Amino acid sequence: MIDDAFSAEVRAAVDRLAGVAERTPLQRNARLSALTGADVWVKREDLQVGRSYKIRGAYNTISRLGDAERSAGVVCASAGNHGQGVAYACRALQVHGHVFVPGTTPRQKRERIAALGGDMVQLVVVGDSYDEAAAAAAAHAAGTGATLVPAFDALSTVTGQATVAVEILAQLGCEPDVVVLPVGGGGLLAGCATWLRQHSPRTRLIGVEPAGAANMAAALAAGEPVDLPEMDTFVDGAAVRRAGAVTYPLVRDSGASLVAVPEGQICTEMLELYQADGVIAEPAGALSTAALSGGLVSVAPGQTVVCLLSGGNNDVSRYAEVVERSLVHRGLKHYFLVEFPQEPGALRRFLDEVLGPDDDIVLFEYVKRDNRETGAALTGIELGSADGLPELLARIEASPLKIQHVAPGSTAYRFLV
């Protein structure tokens, strides 16, 4: 589609969403501005209906359906946020819908889908990944005649998401130097980048993927969408195995650059957003600001930078894992298997000879009892500073105890931690 026709579709989406989607705030972020030296603004889509930008594409798609299509109902697959957008649209437009989500979708998102959809939506939990939920949704559509509402891979979804860029330009009042957007299946980046290419051509676009699910980068490298052989589903809102057939060429032609952010950095940024900015962000919601705070996006002092905070649907029960991943990422938490002799004073010697003055034991549990003389214990140590690790390892090397460092990514780490 040529740019003029695309722009016309986006403007039509703006009209459809008027009075439905919130015109979310664009707020200057003092923390990120001080950190980077740039003038950093955050588009608060975490305050959107359904707490993410997904309502834009979902409502734009469903509102375009004819009477016969509405009567047949709609269906979608979602990691949670798109499902909330579909649920809200179904209730607002009085269209029956089915929302398929994988078992990994946090309970908070499931409950929000049910609450937003009410009697108009049936929630179906199936499989362990978004792709399994997508296959089930497609099968339902084929068997019932319901209209499939894609989370990202449809032009109506893409143009709906592009309304974010329309608002950014209007609120900022000038062309931003850099816009940083999260990437799951690519609908948001495809829409905003295509719009900005025409209406703010000097703006540099950065798409941010989780390192464990960088499907768009894989597609660009291969020259076509490809399946990721492995995927980390922690960033559930952006854990997509394959880039979209619609979104891929739009992203490819947009000139946008891609970066991948480690999940641990995302967790660190989630905690910073919460503690410093008073913002609750889910993992996918913090992608863009995590890339900026982690130094993965180069910006010059004085530049105007906009980051999209894309989702605020974080289950409070996940914060323990968020803290854990952040500590490990920052080099502050380490695990060891310590073989203790079964004799009085063995633990005291470990504390006196191995631990430093700023180190703290945060986990201690016996894994197994080898025999009467020795017993192995999984020991978690939190350092006062990441710089203290070499000294700790040196003390371990000098200790008569048998101590094995359980490194992140190792087989032992995956089984024990």
- The Cα–Cα gap between 194 and 279 comes to 29
Active site annotation includes 54: yes
Catalytic residue, chosen from 54, 109, 288, 293, is: 54
Active site annotation includes 333: no
Q: Does residue 76 contact residue 150 with C-beta atoms inside 8 Å?
A: yes
Catalytic residue, chosen from 129, 288, 293, 310, is: 310
Token couple for 335: 């695990």
Q: Does residue 125 contact residue 117 with C-beta atoms inside 8 Å?
A: no
Q: Provide the pairing of β-strand 121-125 with 257-261.
A: unpaired
- The Cα–Cα gap between 349 and 356 comes to 12
Length of the chain: 417
Integer distance in angstroms from the first to the last C-alpha of the chain?
A: 49
- The tokens 């597609």 sit on which residue? 219
- The Cα–Cα gap between 345 and 209 comes to 50
Q: Does residue 371 contact residue 382 with C-beta atoms inside 8 Å?
A: no
- The Cα–Cα gap between 127 and 13 comes to 33
User: Between vectors from CA 111 to CA 102 and to CA 263, what angle results, nearest 5°?
Assistant: 55
Residues with active-site annotation: 54, 310
